[in-house]
Structures are given as structure tokens and as C-alpha cells.
Amino acid sequence: MNAFTPIKENKISPNENTCYHCGEDGNAELVLFKDKSFCCQGCKMVYEILNENDLCQYYEMDQQAGVSLKGKKQTQFAWLDDDVVKAQIFDYQEEEIVKVTLYLPAVHCASCVWLLENLYKFNSGILDSKINFLKKEIKLTFDQSQTSLRQLAELLSSIGYTPEISLGDLDPAQREKVDKKLIYQLGVSGFVFGNIMLLSFPEYLGLNEINAIGFKEWLGGLNILLSLPIVFFCGKDYLKSACLSLQKGQLNIDVPISIGILTLFLRSIFEILSGAGAGYLDSLAGLVFFLLIGKWFQQITFNHLSFERDYKSYFPIAALLKNGKTIPIQNLKIGNTIVVKNKELIPADGILLKGKASIDYSFVTGESDPVAKENGEQLYAGGKQIGESLEIQISKTVAQSYLTQLWNDANFSKTNSNTTQLLADRIGKYFTYFILTTAFLTLAYWLTIDVGIAINAFTAVLIIACPCAVALSIPFTFGNAIRILGKQNFYLKNTAVIEHLKQVTTVAFDKTGTLTTNTGTDRISYTGTPLLQEEKEALAILVKQSSHPLSQQIFKFFKKEIPIKFIIEKFQEMEGSGLQAVVNQLFVKIGSARFTQNDPQANAQVFLQINGKTKGFFTIENKYRKRFNKILNYFKDNNSIHLLSGDNDQTRLELSPFFGKNLHYLQSPNDKLNFIKNLQSQGEKVLMLGDGLNDAGALRQSDIGMVIAENTNNFNPACDAILDAKAFSKLPQFITYAEGCIRLVYVAYGLALLYNSIGLSFAVRGALSPVIAAILMPASSITIVLFGVLASTLLAWRLDLGDKNHTSN
Amino acid sequence: MKVIFLLIILSILIAIGFLLAFLWAVDSGQYEDDYTPSIRMLFEESTDKKKRK
């Protein structure tokens, strides 16, 4: 899974030009220390710390072991002294001994594991440290009387592994809890299944000679004893789910399964106690065991992914007040003044008091170009400051801020209903009717002949018709499909998503970050009369005044042209049209075609007019993802498609061939959500492709929310599926594959039905012996499992999604 | 033939022993991280590490 080379045998002597700590190519500024060279003071410092503590083995394991500290500032963790915060972060505390789990994004190699597990050498208060490499987590046990969480966090930070603690860590609901119950159930049922099978052998083989000593009765009693945990521990969830479903007046797949389990159990007990036979407890144990394996196989977790994140996972825990104190951000009050440093997130809406703000709202809107703000302007929570420190006066609390309010929407409190297995439950309904009808018909027929046979045949039908194979088909086929798709960098939250994919009728796209890439800058070109130097200067000054994304981009284009002295007069910004001003006696006007009295042209978005004469126009091309047109055409052929963009309509001409009239620009996060709601009220099943937090509401509301991620380790809002940007062009293949897998399940159902009808033919005649049941049930289950796994793997190869294309992450 | 009762009881007791061992292993978290131990085992044990747990 992870490309990782363990300890290297031959040490390559460190190149004199590379940093001894992080392996980075040094430029002229190498820092020398003890005949070793370092790229920066930070790396040298880490080396000194390690050297002092006799931990230089670190460098012998992996080339480039160290984490470069260049340009990183020591993070402050003063807020970790706050008792409330501490109590929320700790996993476990008994008197002074504390256990805590921290996320260290910098963990990347064997040396990291070695160093971090030797952490106790730095600080005697640390009792134990354990790394989970895939999750990049460290589990620390320490003695609070000797050290503090703050000291540990600062220690980690000083050697390059700054822990990332976000607001989400404080929310117990967001901490993933490993559900071990299923594993316990699986273990117990496996144990019972094996033992009952063994104990049933005398019955299968008909060893009558030892019957004299009461062997049969004794074995029967033992079997009943063994089967108790099967019904009341391992099968408990099926019975519960069936009860719930009946209470709601629905029939899901667990109803016929529960009927099967209970009939098997009760009839077996009756047979054994009355001495009429050996019962079907072996079949019962096998049934539950296979069902649980299916459930387990279906549960797939991708270590590095989370489908449930909200803004809290990205917000800091504490804010720095102007007076130098830090407070947890939930305690921020309106009127507090906070300091936001370079690359820090603004935790709550506020007014800019001091500093030059250049806010990157990519986190909220997907738009990556920073927006400049002046003193007195409103700043929204979720923006990241790029540049100098700011002072901000809080105008809304964290929970009331513009961005966070979106999460207060009813949508986010409701649990996602997407976990329902549509197919299985639909089948479950028919199955239940079918079984009950057959059973009662059998009963009615035999009642006229013989009551004993009637009851016998009636229960036999209920047993044999138990849809074990049906219940196994989806977990194994879809579970395998999710694994295959995961290897192709398309990650589904659960197997239900596969079924929902097939039902999609409408697809909504976000533009920025979804159809276009966030990486790399947009290409700007100017067409028209070449500009004189003073004209360039005037233009640069003019666009600098505006925070509009287009102005910002043009400003970047002319950044070098900023004059030292300038006079700007009569500046006006017309919302949605353009800018104008008099700069150095030049009347400069820049904006839309209408604003500058020009005819609209295909690829011209911004026209420039100086002293009333049109000089030319700027073309700003978005960088679309590779083969985005193929994807759009694919969806266009099969569904209706919509574009929901927060940006202005500069791309209308480029995108209208695909979307026609379904282009929706200037959509706020709430607009997007409502748009999806509206589509759904018209009976559409909506697939939403988005990326940023601005899509979070729409992603949650839609039937399938799919997130395009440049880096799956990074941020993604809560969703049902995560698509790595690398695999974007394969999306149609993935959907074809998902549809193919659904067809496979139908075929499996056919097979299951075949087995069931064979069994039923015995059952209705009242001739179902325990041996036949014990053979038929596992045989059908195993066939279905093998069919599901093999066929879905084969299908993946045929669609070119086999392992050979595996790109490791 | 009566010895078969004893044998069966013994076999089930042994099986229960394995079941308990499995449940303990799950409970102690051995299955939560199946990757890091493969790195950890390559480290050379320094002498003082043994003293601590």
C-alpha cells in the first residue's frame, strides 16, 4: 500500500550540498555545524537536539529522514494548558497518568517511527509512545506530574513533527470509534460453527452403535448449549433489525433471515428435546457465520480517508487574543480582538482592525486567489490570511458565523439515509411474501393429510427459504467492487453508494476545483494594441483597487508595473460590470463588453478602454481537468446536467455547449443546497460533484455527494464518495462498473433462487433431512460468495480497472 | 467408548481457550494497526528500551 523502503544497508555518505537533516538540496546558504551541512537553522537545531539525546541513529535508517523546518515557525501551544481543552483531548486519564492520541501529518518513513517511539529519551515524563504509521497518529502515555501536554506538543514541534489539533478533535462524536462488536460476534460464531459441525458428524454418518449410552441425547444437549450464543449474541442484530422494520410496517431483508434463524432454532430444540431428530443447529450456526462474514467483508475503511468531516476538522482550537492570551475559540465573544498570523485560519466572522489582509477563501469557496481586504471590512470565518498578522474584532461567535451556520441547517443534523440497501430490502419484501405464501400453502395442503408432516413441512419451508445467499450476494459483490475501485483511487463510503449511483438522473457540477484544477494559475493573455508603460501602470493601479477575482488576476499579470507615485481619482466599481478611474490623467475603464460599449466576443472576458478608445481585451482561461469534455458528454448523454458555480458567468460561452441553459452562476452555498433540494422535490436523483466547503451543503443534500480531491490526505467535506483528481477521467468507467456489479447481483440472485427451489422441493414434501439442509445451505452460500467475488474481479479486468493500473497513493 | 465424552469435553475446552485468546487479541488492539509493526520489527533494540514498557 505504501511505498516504503526499510533500513538501507549501504549508507550513502551525505552529499556536501544536501542538508544532513532533511536531504534537501542546499543552495548557497548551507549552515555548517560539526562538519555536517544543513539547509537552515531549523534543521541544524533538530540535529543538535537529536545529537544531545544520542538519537543520531535516526539518520542511518532512511535518506531524507528529517522533516525540513525551512520557513516554518515554532507553533505555539499555550492553549493546551487550558483545562477544558485538555480534558477534551485526552483519551484517558487516571490521576496523573494520561493517554492522548495526536495526529502528526509529517510522519513519512521508518525513521519517523523510530524517533517518535524513542521519544521518552527526550522527556522522562513520557511513559510510552506508539505510532500508527498509516493513520500518522502517535499514542502517548505520559505522567502529568512530570510534564504537560503543552510541553510534549512543543517538543514534537521542535523536532519537526508538529501535531495538528483541530476543533473536530474536541467533538467526541467525530472521533472514530472502532466497532469491535462485529469481530467478537464473528469469532464466537466461527467457534460455534466449527464445533457444532464436528459434533454433528456422528449424526451425518449414522453411528448408531454408541447410541446405547445416551450419546445422542448428550450431543444434542451440548449442541443446544453451543447454539445459544449464536442466536442471542451473534444473531442479535438481525433479530433487532427485523423487529424495528416490522414496527415501522416495512419488510427488509432481515425479516426473512430472522424468520429462518428463529425457526431453525426452535424446531431444532423441539426435535432434540423430543428425541425426534438431531435438529438443524449446524445449519443455523453456518448461516449466522456466513452472514457475519459478509457483513465484515462489506465494512471497508480507507485508513487515510474520512467521509464525515465538517468545518470543525479544519478549524483551530484556540485563538490568540490581542493581549497575548489564548482562548478556546468556542469562548470567543463578540467584541474580542484576536490576532491572526500568516497562514492561520480566521475562526469567526469579524471586522478587520489592523493589517493588510489578503484572504484565501479556497477553503470556503474553492476559489484559490487571495482577496485583498482593507481596514474596516468584514472578514468571514474560514478564510486563511496570507501575509502579515491581522487584528480582527469578532462580530459573530464561531457557531453563528456565516460558514458555520451552514452546518446548523437541518440537513446536517439529520443522519444520512444513504445507508439503506435498496436492492436487498426490496428483494427482502418479495422474499418474505413468497416464503410465507409457500409455507402456508404447504401447511394447508398437509393439514388435510397429516398434522405431524404438516408442521414438519411448514417449518422446513421457512428454514430452507431463508435468503442467506441473497443476503450474502450484495456484501461480497459490492464489497469486492469497493476494494477494486479504491485501488483505482475512487473511494466509496459504503456499498449502498453503488446502488445509488445507478439511480442517478441528474448530475450537478461545481466549477472551480471540480471541472477546473486548483493547481497552477489561470492563463491570462492580452489581445489588442500594445500598451505603453504609463498605460500599464495606470491599469495596474486601477485593478489593484478591486477585490473581484478577475481584477486580482489581471493585477497579477501587471504586478511588476506598479509605479512608485500615482494619483487615482474618481474610482468607481460597478458591481457586475467593471471599474473605471482617472489615473495620471488617463481615463481607464475596464470591464464587460457592455460596460465598455463593445461587441461581445467568444473568448474575451475583460475589455480595456483608455480615454474612450478600446485598446483590447483580456482572455482568462480556466485550467480545466484533462478530458473534462469527455466526462461532461458522458453524463449529458445519460442524465441532465447542471453547473452550480459560485463564480461569475465568464465561462458561460465555453460551457454552454455542454450545459445548455443549465448554467447557474453566483450560487452561494445555500443556493446550491436549495437548488439540489428543488431538483429532488421534482423526483430527481442527484449526483453532486464538488470540492470545497461551499459545496458541503449541496453534497450532503444530494443523493450522492462526490468530492474531487487533489490530495486525498487533505480536506474534503462530508460526502459519499471521494474521487482522486488523478482518476477523474475514469469516472465513466467507474459508473459502468458499478452498474455491471448490480447486474452481477441479479445473476447471483438467480443462482440463489435455484438452490432455494431445490431445497423447497424437499421441504414441501416434508422430506428435508438435516443432512440435506446442512449441505445445501453452505453450498449455496459458498457458491454465491465465490461468484460475487470472482465475477466482480473479472468485470473489473474487462473494463480495464484491474490491478495493473494500480497507482499507489 | 465412554472416553469419547471426556475427549469431546476436552476438545471443546481447548477450542474455548483459542476463542478466548482471539477475543483477547482483538480487545488488546492487535488488529487495529497491521502495518506499523512491520516497520518496528526492523529496529535494532537499544539496550535501555527493554527496561521500559
Q: Does B19 touch chain A (CB under 8 A)?
A: yes
Least Cα distance to A129 among B35, B17, B4, B53 occurs for B53
Fill in the amino acid letter for A485. Answer: L
- Mutate which: A215, A216, A233, vs B, most B CBs within 10 A: A215
A33: its cell numbers: 555545524
Distance CA A348, CA A436 (A): 60
- Identity of the residue numbered A463: I
10 Å CB burial of residue A348 (0-12, 13-18, 19+) is buried
The span from the CA of A372 to the CA of A805, in Å, is 44
Domain annotation covers residue A662:
no
Rounded Cα distance, A342 and A390, in Å: 8
For the cut 90, the answer to whether the pLDDT of residue A245 exceeds it is: no
Q: Which residue of A has its CA nearest to B39?
A: A110
> Is residue A88 a part of any domain in this protein?
no
Same domain, A405 and A423: no
Of residues B5, B8, B36, nearest to A132 (C-beta): B36
Strands lying side by side in the sheet with A371-373: A371-373, A357-360, A384-385
pLDDT band at A10; cut points 50, 70, 90: very low
Query: Mutate which of B2, B30, B33, B46 to test chain A, going by most A C-beta atoms within 10 A?
Result: B33
Q: Are residues A222 and A251 in the same domain?
A: yes
pLDDT digits (tens, 9 = 90+) for A350-409: 888 888 888 877 666 655 567 778 788 888 887 878 777 888 888 888 777 776 666 666
Question: pLDDT for A54-68, tens place per residue?
Answer: 777 777 766 666 666
Asked if the structure places residue A76 within a domain, the reply is no
Q: In this structure, which amino acid lies at residue A499?
A: E
Is residue A454 within a helix (H) or strand (E), and if so which, with residue range? helix A451-464
Last residue of a domain, one of A593, A621, A649: A621
Instruction: Give which of A8, A122, A180, A203 to mutate to test B binding, by max B Cβ within 10 Å.
Output: A180
Tell me, rounded to whole angstroms, the distance of Cα A161 from its chain centroid. Answer: 24
Q: Which residues make beta-bridge pairs with A610?
A: A588, A613
> What pLDDT score does A410 carry?
55
Q: Would the CB atoms of B22 and A187 count as touching at under 8 Å?
A: yes
In this prediction, residues A289-303 reach a mean pLDDT of 83
B35 to chain A, closest Cα gap in Å: 7
- Do A441 and A468 sit in the same domain of this protein? yes
Farthest-apart Cα atoms in chain A, separation: 118
Average pLDDT, chain A: 78
Q: Which residues pair with A97 in a beta bridge?
A: A94, A143
pLDDT for B15 beyond 90 = yes
Going by C-beta distance under 8 Å and a sequence separation of 6 or more, which residues neighbour residue A542?
A568, A571, A579, A580, A581, A583, A588, A590
A52 located within any domain: no
In this complex, the residue of A128, A134, A184 whose CB is nearest that of residue B26 is: A184
Can you tell me the mean pLDDT for A733-746? 90
Per DSSP, the three-state class of A779 is helix
Residues A267 and A332 in one domain: no
Nearest to A696 by CA among A403, A417, A423: A403
**A539 domain residue, yes or no:** yes
A547 and A602 belong to one structural domain? yes
Burial class (CB in 10 A: 0-12, 13-18, 19+), A667: buried
ipTM summary value: 0.85
Using an 8 Å CB-CB cutoff, list chain A residues near B23.
184, 187-188
Q: How confident is the model at residue A418 (pLDDT cuts 50, 70, 90)?
A: very low
Contact A191 B36 (CB under 8 A): no
- The verdict on A282 and A424 lying in the same domain is yes
For A572-581, b where at least 16 C-beta lie within 10 A, e where not — what string?
Answer: ebeeeebbbb
| Cell 411448514, residue located | A458
**For residue B52, what pLDDT is reported?**
43
| pLDDT value, residue A530 | 81
B40 vs A: CB within 8 A: yes
A5: nearest CA in chain B? B39
- pLDDT value of residue A572: 75
Which among A117, A118, A187 has CB closest to B23? A187
Last residue of a domain, one of A363, A380, A413: A413
Residues A284, A188 share a domain: yes
Q: Give domain status of residue A69, yes or no.
A: no
- Residues paired with A357 in a beta bridge: A373
**Which residues of chain B are within 8 Å of residue A198 when distances are taken between CB atoms?**
11
Interval A617-674: pLDDT, tens:
877 666 777 778 888 888 888 888 888 887 777 677 777 778 878 888 877 777 888 8
pLDDT at A1: 38
Q: What is the CATH number of the domain that holds A548?
A: 3.40.1110.10
State the nearest Cα–Cα gap between B17 and chain A, in angstroms.
10
Q: Tell whether A501 is covered by a domain.
A: no
Residues in a beta bridge with A371:
A359
* DSSP letter assigned to residue A25: B
Select from A621, A643, A666 the last residue of a domain. Answer: A621
> Is the Cβ pair B35, A194 closer than 8 Å?
no
The answer to whether residues A169 and A104 touch, using CB atoms and an 8 Å cutoff, is: no
Q: Determine how many CB atoms are found less than 10 A away from the CB of residue A41.
A: 13
Is there a single domain that holds both residue A315 and residue A400?
A: yes
pLDDT band at A250 (very low <50, low <70, confident <90, very high): confident
Provide the domain limits for residue A452: 181-301+419-476+740-803
Query: In this predicted structure, what is the pLDDT of residue A808?
Result: 38
Quickly state the pLDDT bin for A210 (edges 50, 70, 90): low
Q: Are residues A255 and A318 located together in one domain of the fold?
A: no
Is A192 within 8 Å of A285 (Cβ atoms)? yes
| Residue bearing the bigger pLDDT, A557 or A790 | A790
Residues 6+ apart with CB under 8 A from A804: none
DSSP string, A377-401: -EE-TT-EE-SS-EEEEE-S-GGGS
Task: Please judge whether B39 and A191 are an interchain contact, meaning their C-beta atoms are less than 8 angstroms apart.
Answer: no
Q: Angle, nearest 10°, between helix axes A41-52 and A149-158?
A: 120
The yes-or-no verdict on residue A176 having pLDDT over 60 is: no
Q: Percent helix, strand and coil across chain A, each rounded to 5?
A: 50, 15, 35
Same structural domain for residues A187 and A282? yes
Phi and psi for A82 in degrees, rounded to 5? -70, 125
A-chain residues near B32 (CB < 8 A): 132, 178
A194/A297 same-domain check: yes
Q: Quote the radius of gyration of chain B (alpha carbons, Å).
A: 19
Q: What is the pLDDT of residue A13?
A: 45
B45: contact with A, CB 8 A cutoff: no
Rounded CA separation A529/A609 (Å): 11
CATH classification of the domain holding A326: 2.70.150.10
Are A289 and A371 contained in the same domain? no
Q: What DSSP assignment string belongs to A177-230?
A: ----HHHHHHHHHHHHHHHHHHHHHHHHHT--GGGGGTHHHHHHHHHHHHHHHI
CB pairs < 8 Å spanning A and B: 67
Per the domain annotation, does A381 fall within a domain?
yes
Q: Is A647 helix (H, G, I), strand (E, B) or coil?
A: coil
pLDDT number for residue A570: 78
CB contact under 8 A, B18 and A191: yes
A128, A191, A215 member nearest B15 (Cβ): A191
In the predicted structure, residue A726 carries a pLDDT above the cut 70 = yes
Number of domains in chain A: 3
Angle between helices A496-503 and A731-764 (to 10 degrees): 110
Q: What is the pTM of this model?
A: 0.74
CB contact under 8 A, B8 and A222: yes
Distance from CA of A97 to the nearest CA of B (A): 14
